[in-house]
Amino acid sequence: MPFAGHRIHCDLVCGIGADGHWHGRYVVRVDADALRALGLHPDQPTAVVTGPAPPRWWHAAAERNARRHRAG
């Protein structure tokens, strides 16, 4: 892992949703200086998207593949 243990913090938040099913989500926080070292801090130009977004078919294919892997 590119981050030292004290520079990253992970939490799992879970509970029963309005539909009665369990839901969970991860919250990951990384120290800003650790991101800066990798060129990922929002204040750095390398953290900004500079190219065009992938085409719509690419997103659709990714969603299909995600559903396929989740079901299996």
Q: Are strands 8-16 and 22-30 parallel, antiparallel or unpaired?
A: antiparallel
Residue 1's SS3 state is: coil
User: Which H or E element spans position 16?
Assistant: strand 8-16
Instruction: Give domain limits for the chain.
Output: 5-71
Residue 31's SS3 state is: coil
pTM above 0.75, yes or no: no
List, for residues 24-67, the tens digit of each pLDDT value. Answer: 988 888 888 888 877 777 777 776 777 888 888 988 888 888 88
- Measured in whole angstroms, the distance separating CA 72 from the mean position of its chain's CA atoms is 22
List, for residues 15-26, the tens digit of each pLDDT value. Answer: 998 999 999 988
